[in-house]
Structure 1
Amino acid sequence: MSKFSASDAAFVGFRLVREHPRTVAVWAVLMTVLSLISSTITIKLAGPQLTEFMAISADKDASPETMLAVMGGLAPLMGVSLIYSLALYSVILAAVNRMVLQPGDNRSAYLRFGPDEVRQAGALILVNLILLAVYFAAILVSAILLGIGIAAGGGAIAGLAGLIGFVGVACLMIYFAVRLSFASTMTFDTGRIAIKSSWTMTKGHVGAMLGAYVLATVMAVIVYLLVMTIVAAVGVIASGGITGLGGLFEPDMTSLETFFTPIGVARAVFAGVISVLTSLIVFSPAPEIYRILKAGGAAPVETGV
């Protein structure tokens, strides 16, 4: 059976940043521009409603009717955000897969928008639908267990049943997520949406893969906090005090005028840089592990959706 180092796979994102600094810079500029564009669209579609929603969410006395009424005004924004996120992550995943599996194909900074990206969108939709179905099924079973615990006497039995149900749902979701984590990479590599193939190829590697993904996530959080600390320090120096940082982390999206301030633009730059770094760190372990396993002859070939 092919082997790989979970720690090496977890740190492959840092290697990509070191080997492709120009690509990272291009991605950061593009992500900053996209951040500004998406913020503009958000404000135009539902700036005041979004501000109201945030205020009501923080109000413990807000009624469900009020919350639903405000959420209704956010429906257009949610639809646009869903499409935008699907397109964005399809392009990013394809680019990361291309960078790891086809490092020589670096034209346009590994970014494309073609058949590979369309297939990535299809794989994303299918994987999320599967995970959603698993989640609802697990919640149903957990509710049944809780009901049995209550019927059996409640109290400690019901609490134990609830705990078992919660842990079981979490473990099941993690297991399915790991088993399906090759779907993006195998879809890119084979040219067809590969859900079953991911399930087959990850068999026997769940523990090591989970370790790599957890370590990569921890590294991404550390990088995020580090960059945020640096930006906050610069912001304190530039604004003359900590009170000037409010617009950096909680922007006023009521209107374009209140958002597009120096602090607002700085926030967009911060978002662009950090999204590129964290995306490379979090998304690169899967294609790297796949590359190693495939080189060892572990890759199934026929099974797609």
Structure 2
Amino acid sequence: MSFSATDAAFEGFRVVRRRPVVALAWGLTYLLLYLVMFGLGADKWAALMAAGEALEQSANPSMADFQALGPVYASAFALAAPAGLVIGAVLSAAVARAVLRPEETRWGYLRLGMDEVRVLVVTLAVAVIVGLSSGVAMTVVGAAIGFGAASGQPLLILLGVLLIFAAFALVVWLAVKFSLAVPMTVDRRKIVILESFSATKGHFWALLGMAVIAVVMSLIVSILGMIIGAATDLATGGVQSLSRYADLGLGQILARAWPALLVSSIVNAFLSALQLAVLYAPFSAAWQAIRTSRGR
């Protein structure tokens, strides 16, 4: 027996409606991430934005210009990536806990314990598996298209195009098959990766439909965020104003741009919290329904 994709897709809104305080708790957690990211790395983000603007204004950018962005990106994300992974694990576990163990309401379902460690391990493992699989698939696609173009044979070029769709389908299939790994990990209090494959058996299309609905809902939240963000950017200059301070030190940038950074961080933090609930809670609701149908 399958679960209701449409019912599960709106679980994020139900979580926030049942306990509105979770939106505040999760928003403050995101705010902490943004404050750390900008408070310790505003100079790196300023350099990245300035480099991006220079590239956009270039009439004929060369490959060397694009390659020069690599170290700038790496510098900007060196701090954001580790902090984002940790905060992401904490918040992902909180969303799953809110659905699967709703009685554990303390601290807005936020914890820092073994659940979060296990979720971090599962998240990294799934990212590596999907990333490597998609990388291999795209390498094959690139080789096929390159060979077809070199040989001038239309059928080989057509085969390369079909392989692009096949690679995309592979990534979507893997994402759906691994989509219950985090909820199952939180629910069972042990690392669950490959068991997600068996749990999704017979539910692939329902899970995919649910994910599409959740993404659409998330896009609506994003549009709301863009409207609010546009208004606040008019008042403060927005994060994009950092590019004008690329030649200054961290302290000087913070002294001049802190209103824009703070307002932008607050707006994005609470919108991100709502998006988190909208995107992640449905998969926990789906696992809960599948588990119940199995009599577990």
CA contact (8 A) 1:52 1:70 kept: no
Equivalence for 1:112: 111
Q: Does 1:19 align with 2:9?
A: no
Aligned to 1:284: 281
Partner SS for 1:103:
coil
Specify the alignment match of 2:180 in structure 1: 182
Counterpart of 2:254 (choices 253, 256, 275) is 256
- The TM-score with structure 2 as length reference comes to 0.88
Task: Judge conservation of contact 2:46–2:242 (CA < 8 Å) in 1.
Answer: no
Write out aligned runs for 1:126-165 (5 A).
126-147=125-146, 149-150=148-149, 153-154=152-153, 156-165=154-163
The alpha carbon displacement at 1:31 in A equals 2.2
Deviation track 1:245-272 (CA, whole Å, cap 9, x = no partner) reads 68236242532133212x4322111101
Deviation readout 1:24-83 (Å, 9 max, x if unpaired): 122223322432232112215x24422332224423533333443453244343222221
Q: Rate the CA distance shift 1:107–1:55 in 2: closer, same or farther, 3 A.
A: same
2:201 to 195, 200, 203: 203
2:244 aligned with 1:244: no
- Following superposition, the deviation at residue 209 of structure 1 comes to 0.2
Q: Is the 8 A contact 1:10 1:213 kept in 2?
A: yes
Aligned to 1:167: 165
114-123 vs 160-169, which moves further: 160-169
Structure number having the greater helix percentage: 2
Q: Give the aligned residue type for 1:218.
A: V
Deviations 1:143-174 (A, max 9, x none): 344356446643x4344223202111111100
Amino acid at match of 2:117: V
**Mapping 1:46-85, distance limit 5 Å:** 46-58=44-56, 59-85=58-84
- Between the aligned partners of 1:144 and 1:187, the Cα distance in structure 2 is 38
Q: Quick one: percent identity of the two aligned structures?
A: 29
5+ unaligned residues in a row in structure 1: which ranges? 236-242, 300-305
Which amino acid in the other structure matches residue 131 of structure 1?
Answer: V
The SS at the match of 2:92 is helix
C-alpha displacement of 1:23: 1.8
Question: CA–CA distance in 1 between the matches of 2:295 and 2:177?
Answer: 15
Task: Name the aligned partner's letter for residue 161 of structure 2.
Answer: L
**Aligned-pair CA distance for 1:226:** 2.0
- C-alpha root-mean-square deviation of aligned residues, in Å? 2.3
CA contact (8 A) 1:53 1:67 kept: no
The residue identity in structure 1 corresponding to 2:86 is: A
Distance 1:298 1:160, change over 3 A: farther
In the comparison of the two structures, how many residue pairs are matched? 287
Q: Provide Cα deviations, 1:175-198, integer angstroms capped at 9, x if missing partner.
A: 000001111111112222211100
What is the rounded CA distance, in whole Å, between the counterparts of 2:72 and 2:132 in structure 1?
Answer: 28
Report the Cα distance in structure 2 between the residues aligned to 1:145 and 1:42, rounded to whole angstroms: 42
- 219 and 193 in structure 1: CA distance in 2 versus 1, 3 angstrom threshold: same
